[in-house]
Amino acid sequence: MIPTKMVIASHNQKKVEEMRRILEQAGLEIEILGTDSFPDLQDVEETGSTFAANAMLKAKYVSNETGLPAVADDSGLCVDALNGMPGILSARWAGQHGNDHANLELLLAQIAHIPRKRRGASFVCAVAYCEPGGREFIVEGSMNGEIIDSPRGAHGFGYDPIFVPMGQSVTSAQLTAEEKDVISHRGHALKAFIRELSAG
Q: Where are the domains of the chain?
A: 5-199
In the residue annotation, 74 being an active-site residue is answered as yes
The pLDDT assigned to 46 comes to: 87
Classify residue 98 as left (phi > 0), alpha (psi -120 to 50) or beta. Answer: left
The pLDDT assigned to 30 comes to: 87
Residue 200 reports pLDDT greater than 80: no
DSSP string, the chain: ---SEEEE--S-HHHHHHHHHHHHHTT---EEEEGGG-TTPPPPP---SSHHHHHHHHHHHHHHHHSS-EEEEEEEEEEGGGTT-BGGGGGGTTSSTT-HHHHHHHHHHHTTTS-GGG-EEEEEEEEEEE-TTS-EEEEEEEEEEEE-SS---SSS-TTGGGEEETT-SS-GGGS-HHHHHHHSHHHHHHHHHHHHHHH-
The pLDDT assigned to 27 comes to: 81
Read off the pTM.
0.92
Q: Does domain 5-199 have CATH number 3.90.950.10?
A: yes
Average confidence (pLDDT) over 172-183: 93
Q: Catalytic residue, from 36, 43, 74, 149: name it.
A: 74
Residue-wise pLDDT for 125-167, tens only, equals: 999 999 998 899 999 999 999 999 999 999 988 999 999 999 9
User: By the 8 A CB rule, do 119 and 50 touch?
Assistant: no
